Amino acid sequence: MKGLIFSVKRYAIHDGPGIRVTFFMKGCPLDCWWCHNPEGKATGQVTTERIDRVGEREFRSEELVGMEYTPEEVLAKVERDRVFMEHSGGGVTFSGGEPLMQPLFLTESLSLLRSAGFHTTVDTSGYAAPDVMRSVMQYTNLFLYDIKLLDPDAHRKFTGVDNRLIISNLDLLLEGGAEVILRIPVIPGVTADREFMEQLRLFIESRRGRRISGISLLPYHKTGISKYRRFGLPDRMESYSQISNGHLDDYMAILQPLGIHVKKGG
C-alpha cells in the first residue's frame, strides 16, 4: 500500500503541538479560492519545471510533485526526528491536500505511528465519508479541522462543495470524544467580518463541553501567488486584499468569551 505525498516538512512548528514532521498528501475534493497549496489539489503526480542557477547559467529540469511512500517509509522518516518530538511534545501531522482522500494509507500510517509512540495529528477539511472519519479517529490524537464558511451556499461557491457533511463529521468526531482545534481561514470579503465571527461563536457555543481545545484564525496572505504562477493556474483571489492585524484582534475578541484558546496563525 502506498500513499502519494507532495511534500514532507521537518521542523514543522505550526501544525499542532511541539516540533513535528508534516506530510502533505496529494488530492483534495475541495476547490478553495484561497488555497495556498494548489499543487496538492490533483490526485495524481504532476510535473513542474525546476530552475536552478549556477553562476549566470540556468538549468531547467522536470520535477515530479508527488512521491510514493509506504506507511513503513513514513514511520522510518518520522523516526529520524524522534528526539525532537520527545523533547518538544511534538509528533506527526498529515495535511494536504486532503489526507482523508487516501484513507487506507492514512489509517495504516497512523496506526503504525501510534504503536511506535508518536503523537498524531490530522489536518482536514472534514469532507470525507463518515466511515473514513471513524476509522481515522481511533489512531488520531488531534484533529486540525477547518471551518471555512457556515452558510452552505457560500461554502459551495468558494470551495466547490456543500458544508453539511463537514459539519456532521465534526459532530461525529466531537461526540466520539476526539480532540479538535478549529481552523478558520479569515478571508477578506468572505469570512472577514464581525457577523460571521458572531455566527461562529454561536456555532461553537452550541458544542460546549466537547473537546474543542483551540481556535486558530488563519489570515489570508497572498502567499500562494508564486505557486499559482509556477503551476500555471489562475488566481481567483487576485482582487482580494490581505487582512490587517487590527481586524484580526477584533475577531479574536468576539471569540474570546468562549473560553477557548484563540490564536492567530497555525
Partner 1 sequence: MTERVMRLREQSLNATETITAERAQLITRFYASREAVGLSAPVLRARAFEYLLRNKAICINEGELIVGERGPSPKATPTYPEISLHSMQDLDILDTREKVSFKVDDEVRRIYSEEIIPFWKGRSNRDRIMERMTPEWLAAYKAGIFTEFQEQRAPGHTVLGYKMFHTGFLDLKREIADAVASLDFRKDPLAYERNEELKAMEIACDAIIMYAGRYADALEALAAAEKDDGRRRELEQMAAICRRVPAHAPRTFHEMLQHYWFIHLGVVTELNPWDSFNPGRLDQHLWPVYKEGTESGTLTPEEAYELLGCFWVKFNNHPSPPKIGVTAQESNTYTDFCLINLGGVKPDGSDAVNDMTYILLDVIREMRILQPSSMIQVSRKNPDTFIHRALDIIRTGFGQPSVFNTEAIIQELLRQGKSIVDARNGGASGCVETGAFGTECYWLTGYFNLVKILEVTLNNGFDTRTGVQVGPMTGDPSTFSTFDDLMLAYSEQVNHFADIKIRGNNVIEKTFALHLPVPFLSLLLEDCIANGKDYNAGGARYNTTYIQGVGLGSITDILTSIRYNIYDMQRFTWQEMLTAMKNNFEDAAEMQYEMIYKTPKYGNDDDYADAQAVAVFEIFHDAVTGRPTPRGGIHRINMLPTTSHVYFGSVTGATPDGRKAWVPLSEGISPFQGVDRQGPTAVIKSASKIDHLRTGGTLLNLKFSPEFFEDEESYGKLTALIRSYFSLDGHHMQFNVVSADTLREAQKHPELYRDLIVRVAGYSDYFNDLGEDLQNEIIRRTEHGEL
SS3 content of the chain, % helix, strand, coil (to 5): 35, 25, 35
Q: Is 10 in the site for partner 1 (CB under 8 A)?
A: yes
Shortest separation between residue 230's beta carbon and partner 1, angstroms: 8
Four-residue CA torsion sign, 12, 114, 64, 266: negative
The total number of residues written for the chain in this structure: 266
Cβ proximity to partner 1, 130 vs 189, nearer residue: 189
Q: Is 76 in the site for partner 1 (CB under 8 A)?
A: no
Q: Is 9 in the site for partner 1 (CB under 8 A)?
A: yes
Q: List the one residue from 78, 218, 237, 255 that touches partner 1 (CB under 8 A).
A: 218
End-to-end alpha-carbon separation of the chain, Å?
Answer: 31
Phi-psi region of 160 (alpha: psi -120 to 50; beta: other; left: phi over 0): left
Dihedral, CA of residue 244, residue 10, residue 86 and residue 125, to nearest 10: 60
d(CA 82, CA 89): 10
Assigned C-alpha cell, 113: 505511528
Q: List the one residue from 44, 55, 232, 259 that touches partner 1 (CB under 8 A).
A: 55
Cβ proximity to partner 1, 11 vs 162, nearer residue: 11
Cβ proximity to partner 1, 134 vs 229, nearer residue: 229
> Which residues have a Cβ under 8 Å from the Cβ of 140 and sit 6 or more positions away?
110, 120, 121, 122, 178
Cβ proximity to partner 1, 22 vs 135, nearer residue: 22
Residue 180 · residue 143 · CB < 8 Å: yes
Stretch that binds partner 1, among 101-109, 156-164, 168-176, 223-231 (CB under 8 A): 223-231
Query: Which residues in the 83-142 window bind partner 1 by CB under 8 A?
Result: 83-84, 86-90
Shortest separation between residue 153's beta carbon and partner 1, angstroms: 27
Cβ proximity to partner 1, 113 vs 174, nearer residue: 113
Q: Which residues bind partner 1 (CB under 8 A)?
A: 9-15, 18-19, 36, 52-55, 57, 59, 80-81, 83-84, 86-90, 216, 218-219, 221-223, 225-226, 229, 265-266
